[in-house]
Amino acid sequence: MKKIFSLCTLFAVALAMTSCSSDTEVLENEGYLMLGVETNASLMTRAEAPSDYSAKTLHVEVKDATGKICASTDDFANDTNLNGAQIILRPGQYTIVAHSANWDGSGSGFNAPYYYGETSVTVKAKTLSTAKVVCTQANVKVTVNYSNEFKESFARASTTIESAAANVNPRVFTMGQDKGSAFFPVGQLTATLSVTNKSGQGYSMTKEFTEVNARDHFILNYTVAPHGQQGGVTVMVDPNTNTYTYNFEVPRKGGTSLAAYTPNAWSTFAYINGKITSKKSDFDATQLALQYKTADANEWTTVAASALTLTGDDISYQIKGLNPSTAYVYRLAYNLGGDDETLSQETTFTTEAQTALYNGGFEDWYSVGNYSSPNIDANTKYWDTSNPGSASFNYVVSYPETSFVHGGSKSARLHAAYAVIKLAAGSIYTGQFGKVSGTSASLNWGVPFTARPTALHGFRCYNPGTINRGDQPSGVGAPASGSQDVGIIRVALMTEQLAVNNKDMSTFPNWDTDPRIIAYGVLDLTANDNNQWVEFTIPLEYHSLTAKPAYILVMGATCKYGDYFYGSDNSELFLDDFELVYGDQPTVKE
């Protein structure tokens, strides 16, 4: 059954006195709180539970709406001043927190469950209020069992449980020693069995547990595999009690076994991750190899051990030179061609597509009233410009150019203008213009996109003017009025479309820290290109190499600080031949 127990019931009754203020002040229409729980104000963060730790010795706190502690105890059951006593409180909302005392559960320990619970209660004047706090186990339980046949078949055996959490001590279950169950904070766990058979041969096997939640109980049962068999693993799950029972069959004679995990495949490369799940004591890492091929090929390409990265028992490698949108298969090998040749299972993966940037040459435009939009027709909503806002003041700041192009017959020409009372920067971006409200505009940045390019490549010609419009914004690095203007080109991969409003800077993302940003690249245009096309490449700096995007933003603007209506109304930017680059070495954000 689940490790759940009720800690207390809290009672509040109206009195003409108060606490959480002064001991002597008397106020009308106050209430009493009767505690059945406690809180611990001095938690100890340790790599293991204290030697005198008792999980059901409870610390309880009662806090008001401001977070002020109105009552607390480190041993509620034995605290006669609070257990059953009445605490005078002002009417209002209170939070009661209860947890195992003297430890915060962040470490590991044998027979060391950690309990936590909280609830809220409203204390009303002249009214009896009740609240019940239920504490549940907040860490993870691991039990290791060795069958009698296992004990008879092996001279020595031990299982080491390690947590991926920082500063958590591993726990060792030694065959023949009964220490009970071990408890760990929530997080990935690894179990490594090390055995020595009666012939003195030693070997080990490893199992990772990645889906680990509070109150989970992992039971690891080690038995002996039938003679001549390599053994295996079966799993039984009881969702009602969060119990996961793993039955491991261990061969009497050790061997090597390998696991090939699903790789992180991009369009032209794949990050491979595998593991040595069991090995003999004389294991020779130089005999490892990785093999891969297209799914329909007969011949394997072999990668020698010297090229692989081995960290403990983890194997990693980056396969390069793959074709996009292609199915591949790979496997790990040990002692290829030898008497004890071992192969992992074959794992199939498909590389990603190389999605092109629509209308990156800015050849397609169609008319919308008094301006043009950089799409083939009204049904294609990929690019947009600042025209929907500026055109309402009869200013067109983004339009197709036919007399100055890099490739094809058209380029995008962006020009800033002073639109009656504010600067209107010329801009073009993937996404949709929202609406105009006075001098503010709402924009939806990004269009659907799921590929992972490594850079944006293109051509630009920036002719900056002298900043002559608006007030210099503070705290953003904007140059002073009278200085040369700065343009910008940016590219971002995102998990969702970004809704921004140029009158509310809080709606703009922090490109370095916003969790919606998967990758980002920017080019500040600080030089005068003097009417010449200049080639550029903007690397995408990935915040995560495993997350995948749902949207892409590509944007160019004559005035970097145009969102603040600050810049030059003489700045001009030409853009042409934008394309996404799919390389084999993505840049990682530091």
| Distance, CA of 153 to CA of 237 (rounded, Å) | 28
CA nearest neighbour of 256 among 223, 224, 227, 289: 289
By CB neighbour count within 10 A (0-12 exposed, 13-18 middle, 19+ buried), where does 531 fall?
exposed
Q: Are 192 and 174 in contact (CB under 8 A)?
A: no
| Distance, CA of 450 to CA of 457 (rounded, Å) | 18
**Which two structure tokens, joined as six digits, stand for 186?**
């929530």
How confident is the model at residue 292, as a pLDDT? 98
The sheet that has 109-110: what strands, in order across it? 109-110, 182-184, 140-146, 217-224, 243-250, 233-238
The residues pairing with 494 across neighbouring beta strands, listed in sequence order, are 517, 551
CA nearest neighbour of 143 among 102, 96, 110: 110
- CATH number of the domain at 140-250, please? 2.60.40
Residue-wise burial string across 469-501, b where 16 or more C-beta atoms lie within 10 A, e elsewhere? bbeeeeeeebbeeeeebbbbbbbbbbbebbebb
The string of pLDDT tens digits covering residues 429-486 is 999 998 877 667 789 999 999 999 999 999 999 999 999 999 998 888 999 999 999 9
Write out 341-389 in H/E/C secondary structure. CEECCCEEEECCCCCCCCCCCCCCCEEECCEEECCCCCCCCCEEECHHH
Q: Are 195 and 202 in contact (CB under 8 A)?
A: yes
Q: Are 525 and 555 in contact (CB under 8 A)?
A: no
**Which two structure tokens, joined as six digits, stand for 52?**
């005198």
| Distance, CA of 380 to CA of 364 (rounded, Å) | 10
CA nearest neighbour of 348 among 265, 289, 268, 450: 265
CA nearest neighbour of 556 among 393, 416, 379, 366: 416
Identical fold for domains 140-250 and 258-350, yes or no, is yes
**Which two structure tokens, joined as six digits, stand for 572?**
């001009």
Give, as one character, the DSSP assignment of residue 39: B
Domain positions in the chain = 4-137, 140-250, 258-350, 366-588
| Distance, CA of 70 to CA of 61 (rounded, Å) | 8
Cβ within 8 Å of residue 178, ≥6 positions away: none
**Which two structure tokens, joined as six digits, stand for 420?**
């009656």
How confident is the model at residue 249, as a pLDDT? 82
Residue-wise DSSP of 41-87: S-----SB--TT--TTSEEEEEE-TT--EEEEES-GGG-TTTTT-EE
**Which two structure tokens, joined as six digits, stand for 314?**
């983890």
**Which two structure tokens, joined as six digits, stand for 464?**
């900056």
Give whole-number Cα distances, 347 to 327, 352, 382, in Å: 11, 16, 37
Residue indicated by tokens 């409203």: 122
Q: How do the pLDDT tens digits run along the chain, 590 residues long?
A: 444 444 444 443 332 233 454 333 334 556 555 555 433 323 333 455 666 677 778 888 889 999 999 888 888 888 877 677 677 788 899 998 988 888 888 899 999 899 998 988 888 887 777 777 888 889 999 999 999 999 998 999 999 999 999 899 999 999 999 889 999 999 999 999 999 888 788 888 888 898 899 999 999 999 988 765 556 778 888 888 888 888 888 877 767 888 899 999 999 999 999 999 888 778 899 999 999 999 999 999 999 999 999 999 999 999 999 999 999 999 999 988 877 788 989 999 999 999 999 999 999 999 998 899 999 999 999 999 988 887 667 788 899 999 999 999 999 999 998 876 788 889 999 999 988 776 677 899 999 999 999 999 999 999 999 999 999 988 889 999 999 999 999 999 999 999 998 888 889 999 999 999 999 999 999 999 999 999 999 999 999 999 999 999 999 999 999 888 899 999 999 999 999 999 999 999 98
Superfamily for 366-588? BT2081, beta-jelly-roll domain (2.60.120.890)
CA 539 to chain CA mean position, Å:
22
How confident is the model at residue 228, as a pLDDT? 53
Residue type, 407: G
Locate all alpha helices (DSSP H) within 257-339, ordered by sequence.
none
Superfamily for 258-350? Immunoglobulins (2.60.40.10)
Residue indicated by tokens 């709406």: 65
